[in-house]
């Protein structure tokens, strides 16, 4: 809004784009309908740009996604999408991504549909990532490492945080499958491979 108010020209309209269809649905919801936190944020957005026309843009055409998806500084220098935006933005043709029509399902309608279709839910706790055998095994391994490392020692918050980080690195470095007998295959499949390289902690154990 500071940029809009500082322009020495009169604007006939404001067009805004978002790659999130959820956000666009929230903006088009009736006032005071939905989660209170979302209602407050949407009201603030509408008060800043009351006459804005909202449209949907694909993530591949969104310049903000270029940085979030990971791009090197050298590639960023010649990245036209980052500096100039999508090609249609500077084109003389009256073309721009339009709002994708979506339907907001109300919770009451969802419950009625489930009841009318006689849908029954069957939960399988052992296969849940936060409940069952897998989760309990991870907790047991963490407690085992903590007991062997500190035993009966009383640790402050900083030392305990460092110890937990080391335990996390140790657990994430454990192989997920049996290690190959091939002497040339020295790299094991571990959870650490799914962590971004910049966020990895050095593994205290070599397999």
Beta pairing partners, 54: 16
Judged against a pLDDT cut of 80, whether residue 140 lies above it is answered with: yes
- Percentage of residues in the chain having pLDDT higher than 70: 71
Could you report the per-residue pLDDT of 184-203, keeping only the tens digit for each?
776 777 877 766 554 454 44
Looking up tokens 């978002």 gives: 18
Sequence ranges of the domains in the chain: 13-103
Q: Which residue has the higher pLDDT, 175 or 112?
A: 175
E strand or H helix that includes residue 99: none
Q: Is 83 helix (H, G, I), strand (E, B) or coil?
A: helix
For the chain, the average pLDDT equals 75
pLDDT at 3: 65
CB atoms within 10 A of CB 167: 19
> At how many degrees (to 10) do helices 133-150 and 157-172 cross?
130
pLDDT at 190: 80
DSSP 180: P
Could you report the per-residue pLDDT of 141-198, keeping only the tens digit for each?
889 999 888 888 888 888 889 999 889 888 888 887 787 787 777 677 787 776 655 4
Residue 136 near residue 111 (C-beta atoms within 8 A)? no
- Supply the pTM of this predicted model: 0.41
Residue 64 near residue 26 (C-beta atoms within 8 A)? no
Residue 102 near residue 25 (C-beta atoms within 8 A)? yes
């Amino acid at each position: 809004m500071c940029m809009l108010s500082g322009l020495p020209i009169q604007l006939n309209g404001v067009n805004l784009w978002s790659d999130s269809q959820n956000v666009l649905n929230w903006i088009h919801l009736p006032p005071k309908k939905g989660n209170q936190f979302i209602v407050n944020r949407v009201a603030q957005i509408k008060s800043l740009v009351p006459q804005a026309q909202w449209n949907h843009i694909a993530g591949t055409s969104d310049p903000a996604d270029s940085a979030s998806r990971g791009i090197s500084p050298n590639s960023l220098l010649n990245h036209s999408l980052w500096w100039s935006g999508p090609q249609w933005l500077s084109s003389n043709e009256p073309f721009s991504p339009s709002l994708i029509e979506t339907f907001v399902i109300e919770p009451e309608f969802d419950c009625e549909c489930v009841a009318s279709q006689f849908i029954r839910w069957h939960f399988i706790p052992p296969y849940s990532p936060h409940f069952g055998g897998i989760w309990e095994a991870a907790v047991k391994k963490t407690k085992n490492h903590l007991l062997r490392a500190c035993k009966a020692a009383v640790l402050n918050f900083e030392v305990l945080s460092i110890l937990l980080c080391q335990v996390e690195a140790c657990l994430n470095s454990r192989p997920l499958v049996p290690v190959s007998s091939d002497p040339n295959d020295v790299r094991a499949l571990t959870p650490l491979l799914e962590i971004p390289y910049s966020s990895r902690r050095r593994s205290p154990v070599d397999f």
